Structure 1
C-alpha cells in the first residue's frame, strides 16, 4: 500500500469516526474550509521551489544538540521534511514512510531531518512513536519554515476548533502564535540548491518517498 493510500484510509476513518479518530462530524466542514482557504491563498506557489537556494539553518534535536544544515550538506545531499507535529496522524504516517526509505537514502549518500514547531518533549515522542533513526528538529516560532515560505497563521475559526478539540498548539510548541508549516519535502544539493520540492497546503496529501530518488541520483552525478 502506498503512503497516499494509507493517508486516504486515515482520512476515511476520521470522517467515519472510527477508532482511534473519534471526532464530532460537524468539525469536518470547518477543517475542509480552512484547507480550501489555504489552497486559495496561493501561498504554496510562493514557497521555495527546485532551483532556489535553500536557507542555511541550525536547529536543536530533542536532546538540545545543535544540528546544522551546512554540516550535513558537507557530507552529502540533505532531505528535509516539514511537518505539523506528533498530534497529526498524517504526519506520523509520513515519518514512518520516510524511515522505511532511510536505507535507500543513505545508499545515495543523503541525510534526513524532519522539522516541526513542536518542543523537545514532543519531538522525543515523535522519534519514539515512529521508531525514527533520523533527527526531529524543533523550529520554534516556525522561523525556518517561514524562510522556506511555509509558515501560515491558522484562521480564528480554526483556532477556536482546535481549542474545542483540546489541540493546544501553544502548549505543544511553546509558542503562542498559532502558526504551522505547510507540509513540505525538499532535497537540497551540497551547493545549497534545492533539487526537489513538494509543498502541499492540503495536509492529507504527501508525496511518496521514492519521488525524491531522481533528485538524489542527480546529486550523485547520475550514478
Structure 2
C-alpha cells in the first residue's frame, strides 16, 4: 500500500471515531481548523526549496552522540526528514515507510536522518516502536526546523485541545514553547544545495519516499 493510502485510511477511521479512536467531533473540527489556518498562512511557501543552501547542523542522537550534517555529507547525499514526534501516528507510518525505502537510498550512496523536537527517551521509543535502523536526531526548540522554515507556533485553541487530550508536548519535547515543525523532507547534495524539498502544512499528507529517488540519482551522477 502506498504511504498516502495508508495515511488516508487511518485518517478516515480516526475522524469517524472508529475503535480504538474516540476523539469527540468538536476536537476533530479544532484540528481541521488549525490545519486550514496553517495552510492559509502561507507558511509552507516560506520553507526552503530546491536550489537553496541547506543550513548546517549538529544534533544529538538518542545516546547523546553528536551527528553533524557536514560529516554525513562528506559520505554522500543526505536525506533529512522532519517529523512531529512519536505521539503522531502519521509520523510513525511515515518513519516505517522511510525504513522500507532505506535500501534504495543506500544503493545510491545516500544517508537518511529523521529530526524531531522530542527528548532522547522518546526518540529511543521511536526507534524501537518502528524498528528503525537510521538515526533519529533531537532538535530542541525546533531550532534546526526553523532554519529550514518549518517551525510554527500552535494556535491557542489547539494547545488547549492537546492539553485536554493529555497530549503533553512540553513533556514529550522538554520544551514549554508549544511549537512544532511542519512535516518536511529534503535531499541535500554533497555541495550543500537542496536538490529536493517537499513541505506540507497538512500533517496528514506525506510524500512517497520513492519520490526522492530522481534527486538521489542526480546526486549520485554528479559525484561519480
1:205 paired residue number:
205
Displacement of 1:117 in angstroms is 0.3
1:68 paired residue number:
68
Displacement of 1:101 in angstroms is 0.3
SS in structure 2 of the partner of residue 170 of structure 1 = helix
- Calculate the TM-score normalised by the size of structure 2: 0.98
Distance 2:110 2:196 in 1: 13
1:93 paired residue number:
93
Displacement of 1:19 in angstroms is 2.7
Q: Which moved more, 1:24-33 or 1:212-221?
A: 24-33
Distance 1:81 1:63 in 2: 19
- Calculate the TM-score normalised by the size of structure 1: 0.98
SS in structure 1 of the partner of residue 137 of structure 2 = strand
Distance 1:187 1:165 in 2: 35
SS in structure 1 of the partner of residue 201 of structure 2 = coil
2:45 paired residue number:
45
Superposed, 1:11-160 pairs within 5 Å as: 11-160=11-160
Moved over 2 A (4+): 19-22
Distance 1:33 1:24 in 2: 14
Distance 2:36 2:154 in 1: 12
SS in structure 1 of the partner of residue 25 of structure 2 = coil
Distance 1:139 1:10 in 2: 27
Displacement of 1:22 in angstroms is 2.4
Distance 1:101 1:213 in 2: 10
Displacement of 1:24 in angstroms is 1.4
Structure 1 unaligned blocks of 5 or more: none
Distance 1:172 1:220 in 2: 37
SS in structure 2 of the partner of residue 127 of structure 1 = helix
Displacement of 1:26 in angstroms is 1.4
Displacement of 1:20 in angstroms is 2.9
